[in-house]
Structure formats: C-alpha cells, structure tokens
Amino acid sequence: MPRVIVAIALLTTLLVSSCITDTLQHQYQHINKNGWAKNDTIDFDIPPATQSGRYSIKTEIRCLSNFPLHHIYIVRNFSFDPPFIGYTDTLCINTDRKCPDTERSGVNTISYAKTDSSLVLAKGQKGRVKMHHIMQKENIPHVLDLGIRIKYLN
C-alpha cells in the first residue's frame, strides 16, 4: 500500500510540473496564400502575464523553400496595459538558408526566427502585438505564417 501512495504522489507531481511553462504566448497567424501584402497587419492578442518580470520576444516566420528574399524587414507595434506600455520597433530577419536563424526545415517549408528583445511586464498585464512588413515590394510571396513567442526569463 505505501508503494501505491508513493507512486500516485510521484505521478501527480509529474503531471502538475509538466503543465507549468515559462511561455506566455506562442502563436502563428496564417498569411494570405496570395502573399503578404504591405497593408496586411498581423495581430497577436497576448494573454495576461502570469508573473512579473522580464520576457523574451521571438518573432518567427515560415516560408516556402523557394522564398526569393534573403531578409525581410518587419515593423512591430507593442501595447500592453494596465499600466500602459507601448513602443514600436523594426526587425530584420535573415531568411538566407545558411543563416543561423534557420530553425528547422520541412519538406517544402523553412522556419526562421529571431529573438531580439525583451520586455518587462507586471503580473496581469495583457496586450497586443501588430506586425507588418516594410519591404519595397507591395506583396511578398511564399510567406505562410508569422509567429510570436513570448517567454518568461526571470
């Protein structure tokens, strides 16, 4: 009987600890199959912060393997409240296959990511991140998804 109780306690501990994560948000938004138009803004609703502290921000992009560009410039607009925090920045993601930002390859897709900044949030702060590209071309072909990962650091 004591072995059963120990086994149940161990299993419960494992199940509870497997549900704890430092990731506040990890989400992808699909891009129109006709390409990412310059006026298409991609929105991400960010849930309330689970704890106060510094969070890393990673922007991810999935493209077809025949993506024609070597980099893509993205403007990101961040707004969180309460209390209000807002700022805008520009990010360049290197989409050259030989670049270290290449995370993984599928049969016909390649993912690129860049962790470039961090953000201090108070517990309960929620927000929105809006992104659009600022490339010279009006329409960027072969982009499938745009993603964001916000992860608690300390």
Predicted confidence at residue 47, as pLDDT, reads: 96
Of 29, 20, 87, residue with least CA distance to 62: 29
State which fold the 23-152 domain adopts.
Jelly Rolls (2.60.120)
Task: List pLDDT tens digits, range 99-151.
Answer: 655 555 566 788 888 888 889 999 999 999 999 999 999 999 999 999 999 99
Predicted confidence at residue 101, as pLDDT, reads: 53
Predicted confidence at residue 143, as pLDDT, reads: 93
Specify which residues 44 forms β-bridges with.
Answer: 129
Predicted confidence at residue 57, as pLDDT, reads: 93
The dihedral through the CA atoms of 64, 70, 73, 76 has a sign that is: positive
Predicted confidence at residue 3, as pLDDT, reads: 65
Predicted confidence at residue 102, as pLDDT, reads: 56
Question: From the centroid of its chain, how far is CA 91?
Answer: 13
- Of the two residues 6 and 144, the one the predictor is more confident about is 144
Q: Span 20-24, mean pLDDT?
A: 81
Preceding omega of 68 cis (within 30 degrees of 0)? no
Task: List pLDDT tens digits, range 42-90.
Answer: 999 999 999 999 999 999 999 988 888 989 999 999 999 998 999 999 9
Q: Span 9-29, mean pLDDT?
A: 67
Q: Taking the CB of residue 151, how many other CB atoms lie within 10 A of it?
A: 17
Predicted confidence at residue 15, as pLDDT, reads: 45
Specify which residues 93 forms β-bridges with.
Answer: 72
Predicted confidence at residue 46, as pLDDT, reads: 96
Assign 2 to helix, strand or coil.
helix
Domain boundaries, the chain: 23-152
The amino acid occupying position 84 is F
Predicted confidence at residue 107, as pLDDT, reads: 67
Predicted confidence at residue 20, as pLDDT, reads: 58
Contact 109, 30 (CB under 8 A): no
Predicted confidence at residue 18, as pLDDT, reads: 45
